[in-house]
């Protein structure tokens, strides 16, 4: 039987090799994850996920403290979206190995709707605004069943543009406004872990800044968040910590500042 070793983020943002991961493979064993004596709020433990026979997420482990913002980075095709989807427990990719814990509950044993009810809030890349519904109807639909999160008025306080356009059909909004609606709709549910997949994608710089300011406000409120972004610099300015994926594996786990300061690392894995 493998020891339940504490999964510690390496001090100083070390590049992780296979040898360091092999000691952490602990199938079927509850991770005893601690940092500074505190159990991690979220922990992914050696997760492996497949699309059919395509082996994509290849032993990803990381943990998140409550209130922390993690930038999950890596080149196109590195496995970022697949990792978020595995955490959210959607069927594809299928999680075949590993454990995922959130607030002491085993997400790996849940289906997507259970994970969502428990507090996983995935804002997918394609935003999925529901056609034929107004902004307000999209928000109300998110609250059709408990547990409820923010009130609709509070969401409008955070995104005044959504309040102004409450009667407008959601799919007719600009890209930036649709992103706000996608985030707002997720906050309308009781979210413990917010997963944002490329929230700035395809948006003009001025809109990116607007959404960044909103995410800063959400950060102030202490919402635990994972942000995946091609715009790595923007994500790193928001985040406390960064995890870099390459070919479905974690190659870096350290502070956001370390990535900003390490040009070689950025060249090698982020092409910036
Ligand atoms: N539905 C799918 N079926 C098969 N392979 C997929 C599917 N979605 C993504 N992939 C593959 O998985 C790898 C990781 O993709 P993805 O997680 O979307 O990367 P990222 O979000 O980092 O750009 C890529 O090689 C991609 O081609
Ligand atoms: Mg992606």
Interval 136-142 mean pLDDT: 96
Given a contact cutoff of 8 angstroms between Cβ atoms, the answer to whether 43 and 5 are in contact is no
pLDDT digits (tens, 9 = 90+) for 30-89: 444 444 555 689 999 999 999 999 999 999 999 999 999 999 999 999 999 999 999 999
> Bridge-partner residues for 241, per DSSP?
70, 255
Interval 236-264 mean pLDDT: 95
Whether the predicted pLDDT of 227 surpasses 50 = yes
3-state secondary structure of 210: helix
pLDDT digits (tens, 9 = 90+) for 154-165: 999 999 999 999
Interval 247-262 mean pLDDT: 96
pLDDT at position 38 is 56
Pick the residue whose CA is nearest to atom 9 on ligand 1.
Answer: 82
Given a contact cutoff of 8 angstroms between Cβ atoms, the answer to whether 186 and 123 are in contact is yes
Listing DSSP states for 115-183 in one string gives HHHHTEEEE-TT--PPTT-BHHHHHHHHTSSSPB-S-HHHHHHH-HHHHHTTTSBGGGS-HHHHHHHHH
Please enumerate in sequence order all residues whose Cβ is within 8 A of that of 27, keeping only pairs 6 or more positions apart, or say none: 2, 46, 97, 98
pLDDT at position 140 is 96
| Integer CA distances (angstroms), 134 to 169, 178, 211, 262, in order | 4, 11, 21, 45
pLDDT at position 22 is 37
> Which atom in ligand 1 lies closest to the alpha carbon of residue 198?
21
Q: Is the pTM of this model over 0.85?
A: yes
Q: Is 11's C-beta closer than 6 angstroms to any atom of ligand 1?
A: no
Pick the residue whose CA is nearest to atom 13 on ligand 1.
Answer: 77
Q: Which residues of 130-154 are buried (b: 16+ CB within 10 A; e: fewer)?
A: eeeebbbebbeebbeeeeebbebee
Whose atoms come closest to the Cα of 201: which ligand? 2
Interval 122-149 mean pLDDT: 94
pLDDT at position 39 is 65
Residue of 83, 35, 53, 76 whose CA lies nearest to 195: 83
Substitution site in 77, 95, 229 for ligand 1 pocket (most atoms within 8 Å of beta carbon): 77
Cβ neighbourhood burial of 29 (10 Å; 0-12, 13-18, 19+): middle
């Amino acid at each position: 039987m493998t020891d339940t070793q504490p999964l510690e983020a390496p001090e100083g943002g070390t590049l992780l090799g296979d040898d360091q991961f092999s000691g952490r493979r602990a199938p079927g064993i509850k991770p005893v994850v601690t940092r500074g004596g505190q159990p991690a709020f979220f922990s992914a433990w050696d997760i492996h996920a497949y699309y059919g026979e395509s082996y994509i997420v290849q032993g990803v482990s990381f943990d998140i403290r409550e209130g922390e913002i993690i930038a999950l980075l890596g080149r196109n095709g590195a496995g970022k979206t697949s990792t978020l989807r595995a955490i959210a427990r959607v069927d594809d990719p299928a999680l075949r190995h590993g454990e995922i814990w959130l607030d002491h509950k085993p997400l790996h044993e849940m289906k997507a709707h259970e994970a969502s009810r428990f507090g996983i809030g995935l804002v997918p890349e394609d935003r999925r605004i529901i056609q034929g519904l107004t902004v307000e109807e999209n928000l109300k639909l998110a609250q059709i069943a408990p547990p409820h999160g923010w009130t609709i008025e509070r969401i409008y306080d955070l995104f005044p543009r959504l309040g102004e356009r409450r009667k407008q059909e959601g799919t007719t909004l600009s890209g930036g406004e649709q992103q706000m609606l996608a985030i707002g709709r997720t906050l309308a549910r009781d979210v413990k872990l917010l997963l944002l997949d490329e929230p700035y994608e395809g948006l003009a710089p001025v809109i990116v800044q607007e959404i960044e300011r909103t995410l800063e406000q959400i950060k102030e409120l202490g919402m635990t968040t994972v942000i995946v972004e091609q715009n790595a610099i923007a994500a790193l300015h928001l985040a406390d910590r960064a995890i870099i994926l390459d070919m479905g594996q974690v190659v870096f786990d350290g502070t956001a500042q370390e990535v900003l300061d390490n040009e070689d690392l950025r060249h090698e894995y982020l092409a910036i």
